[in-house]
């Protein structure tokens, strides 16, 4: 009788995902018995789950685990990105409770959805099989569709959820079709096996099915990271979604997209690097330029940060195009720094806003620096970091990204990146001009800082300034996580 070999499962390779998913399902059950006015306790429980998961991630550092017959790999690369996902989820939860109570949409499903989206991101970072990456992407996307439209009584939120769903489903078709073509060309969906096939087949570079599959996958990933010209959904979704969810979407899913993008292209298709590097060079320039130029004209601060987010995807693509250890380490360092500075900025937006989300225009921040000087200083720190001004972490991240490009010979790409970064200073400084150089039109008497948002701001400021002043430790961790 023929015996069937059971595949090696090894749950240690997906322990962070297992913990978060179990907590998310437990929260869904607990939510049924928790009164509406006590939904904040679900947020505290989810934070405890994130902290436990974070320690699991730290415990796995330096001891790679392969599971599920080689379709999942928990290596340092995946663990570093999982740390970014957990940080972005925790900070987003900290700023959610006060906002959701104010907008009267503090439904308990919010926290399990954030945790499940984080599980999807983790699977994308750990996936060493195209199907595993797609599974993680779908878990992430479905959760985000609901989170974008979570404010049920808001037409803008409903519009954001619908637009994100329609365009997200459309982009997923590109990604899945690209994966199917790569499977058809190579006969496998395993990243290592695809790399082996491409390396051993001298005609792989002229295989039309493989090349089309690569381009379609690049299109699918470009949508997830909001790279131009696949960025059209970003400003409307970011503006319409609840502000804490906008903060979450602007960081975690973008980092997950880059994690999967890098693992697939750097590991599976290194011999086609000449083809995909040229494609990404164009994408990087287009993304930086479109994001920054369009942000210059925005009056709504959420839309401004949406276009800013597009520009930052372009900066990270510069490190991706470089394809060396410095550029890849720069991607990881920059995405972690971006989590602190961007979510920190959105925390201030949550505080300044009123019910129904007025006060979202740049002009509404007039005199904010006089009325709430400490909060204005925090906002200035985040904006300086986003602009890449030292000693903030954003400067160190951009320095590494552009240094990687220069070392790889992409000098003009680095120059274009520096020029774009200089142009972005205008719209970040414009917010500070209104905060400090305009007479106040509001008393901001409604503004109350909850302990959760205060904790978020403390963590975010520390996460921006400490790596900016002493970046050595984080850069060393990023270098140890490089796949090359």
The arithmetic mean of pLDDT across residues 269-288, rounded, is 89
Q: What is the mean pLDDT of residues 153-157?
A: 83
In a domain, 65, yes or no: yes
188 in the Ramachandran plot: left (φ > 0), alpha (ψ -120 to 50) or beta?
Answer: beta
Least confident of 51-60, 130-139, 203-212: 203-212
Q: What pLDDT does residue 276 have?
A: 87
pLDDT at 3: 59
Pick the residue with more confidence: 65 or 204?
65
Residue at 4 is within a domain: no
User: Is position 229 within any domain?
Assistant: yes
Q: Please tell me the least confidently modeled range out of 32-46, 161-175, 467-481.
A: 32-46
* Residue 353 covered by a domain: yes
Q: Which residues pair with 67 in a beta bridge?
A: 72
The DSSP line for 228-256 is TTS-THHHHHHHHS-HHHHHHHHHHHHHH
On the CB side of 84, CA atoms within 13 Å amount to 34
Q: What is the pLDDT of residues 178-194, one digit of tens each?
A: 999 999 998 889 998 99
Is residue 424's pLDDT more than 80?
yes
Q: Which residues contact 185 (CB under 8 A, 6 or more apart)?
A: 207, 209, 210, 213
Q: pLDDT by residue (tens digit) across 26-79?
A: 998 988 887 777 777 888 899 999 999 999 999 888 888 888 888 899 899 999
Q: Could you give the CA distance from residue 224 to residue 230 in angstroms, rounded to a whole number?
A: 9
pLDDT-based confidence at residue 412 (cuts at 50, 70, 90) = very high
> DSSP states of 417-477 as a string?
HHHHHHHHHHHHHHHHHHHHHS--S---TT----HHHHHHHHHHHHHHHHHHHS-HHHHHH
- 401 neighbors 378 (Cβ within 8 angstroms): no
pLDDT mean over 382-386: 93
Q: What is the CA radius of gyration of the chain?
A: 22
- Which residues are registered as beta bridge partners of 129? 190
Q: Which domain holds residue 345?
A: 11-480
pLDDT(1) > 70: no
Q: Indicate the pTM of the whole model.
A: 0.93
Residue at 390 is within a domain: yes
Confidence of residue 4 (pLDDT cuts 50, 70, 90): low
Identify the residue with better confidence: 164 or 442: 164
In degrees to the nearest 10, what's the CA dihedral of 236, 459, 429, 320?
A: -70
**What is the per-residue pLDDT for 207?**
83
Q: Give the separation between CA 345 and CA 329, rounded to whole angstroms.
A: 24
More confident of the two residues 291 and 364? 291
Q: Which range among 5-9, 41-45, 227-231, 396-400 has the greatest average pLDDT?
A: 396-400
pLDDT the model gives residue 145: 92
Give the pLDDT confidence score for residue 357 in this predicted structure. Answer: 61
The pLDDT value given to residue 463: 94
Mean pLDDT of 286-310: 91
Reported as a pLDDT band with limits 50, 70 and 90, residue 484 is low
Residue with tokens 């619908």: 162
Is pLDDT above 80 for 420?
A: yes
Q: In whole angstroms, what is the distance from residue 414 CA to residue 407 CA?
A: 10
β-strand pairing of 72-74 with 65-67: antiparallel
Where does the pLDDT of residue 356 fall: very low under 50, low under 70, confident under 90, or very high at 90 and above? Answer: low
The partner residues of 361 in beta bridges, in order of sequence, read: 300
Q: Is the pLDDT of residue 6 over 70?
A: no
Q: How far is CA 244 from CA 80, 250, 419, in A?
A: 23, 10, 31
Query: Residue 7: which pLDDT band, with cuts at 50, 70 and 90?
Result: low
467 inside domain: yes
Please, what is the average pLDDT of the chain? 88
- In this prediction, residues 152-162 reach a mean pLDDT of 85
Rounded Cα distance between 291 and 88, Å, is: 22
Give the pLDDT confidence score for residue 324 in this predicted structure: 87
| Other residues' Cβ atoms within 10 Å of the Cβ of residue 208 | 9
Residue 125 is assigned to a structural domain of this protein: yes
Could you give the number of structural domains in the chain?
1
- For residue 160, the model assigns a pLDDT of 87
Is 398 domain-assigned? yes
Indicate whether 104 pLDDT > 80: no
- The pLDDT confidence band at residue 126, using thresholds 50, 70 and 90, is very high
Q: Is the pLDDT of residue 165 over 80?
A: yes
């Amino acid at each position: 009788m023929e015996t069937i070999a059971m595949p090696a499962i090894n749950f240690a390779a997906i322990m962070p995902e297992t913990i978060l998913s179990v907590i998310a399902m437990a929260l869904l059950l607990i939510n049924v018995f928790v009164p509406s006015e006590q939904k904040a306790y679900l947020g505290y429980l989810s934070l405890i789950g994130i902290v436990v998961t974070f320690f699991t991630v730290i415990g796995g550092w330096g001891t790679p685990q392969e599971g599920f017959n080689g379709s999942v790999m928990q290596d340092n690369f995946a663990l570093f990105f999982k740390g970014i996902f957990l940080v972005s989820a925790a900070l987003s939860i900290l700023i959610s409770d006060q906002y959701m109570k104010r907008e009267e949409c503090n439904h308990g499903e919010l926290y399990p959805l954030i945790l499940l989206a984080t599980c999807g991101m983790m699977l994308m970072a750990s996936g060493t099989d195209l199907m595993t990456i797609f599974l993680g992407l779908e878990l992430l996307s479905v959760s985000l569709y609901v989170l974008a439209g979570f404010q049920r009584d808001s037409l803008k939120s409903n519009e954001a959820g619908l637009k994100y769903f329609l365009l997200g489903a459309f982009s997923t078709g590109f990604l899945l079709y690209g994966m199917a073509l790569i499977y058809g060309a190579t006969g496998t969906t395993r990243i290592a096996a695809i790399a082996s096939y491409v390396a051993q087949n001298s005609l792989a570079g002229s295989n039309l099915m493989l090349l089309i599959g690569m381009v379609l996958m690049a299109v699918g990933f470009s949508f997830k990271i909001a790279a131009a010209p696949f960025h059209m959904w970003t400003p409307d979704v970011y503006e319409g979604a609840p502000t804490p969810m906008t903060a979450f979407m602007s960081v975690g899913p973008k980092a997950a997209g880059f994690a999967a993008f890098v693992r697939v292209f750097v590991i599976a298709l290194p011999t086609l690097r000449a083809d995909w590097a040229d494609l990404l060079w164009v994408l990087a320039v287009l993304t930086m330029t479109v994001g920054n130029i369009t942000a210059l004209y925005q009056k709504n601060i959420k839309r401004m940060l949406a276009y800013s987010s597009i520009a930052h995807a372009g900066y990270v693509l510069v490190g991706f195009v470089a394809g060396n250890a410095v550029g890849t380490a720069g991607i990881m360092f920059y995405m972690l720094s971006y989590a602190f500075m961007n979510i920190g900025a959105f925390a201030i937006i949550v505080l300044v806003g009123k019910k129904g989300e007025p006060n979202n225009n740049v002009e509404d921040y007039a005199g904010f620096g006089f009325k709430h000087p400490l909060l204005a200083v925090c906002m200035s720190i985040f904006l300086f970091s986003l602009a890449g001004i030292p000693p903030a972490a954003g400067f160190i991240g951009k320095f590494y990204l552009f240094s990687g490009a220069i070392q790889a010979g992409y000098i003009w790409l680095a120059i274009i990146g520096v020029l774009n970064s200089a142009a972005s200073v205008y719209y970040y400084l414009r917010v500070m001009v209104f905060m400090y150089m305009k007479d106040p039109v509001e008393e901001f008497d409604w503004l109350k800082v909850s302990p959760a948002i205060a904790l978020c701001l403390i963590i975010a400021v520390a996460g921006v300034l400490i790596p900016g002043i002493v970046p050595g430790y984080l850069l060393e961790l990023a270098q140890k996580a490089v796949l090359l």
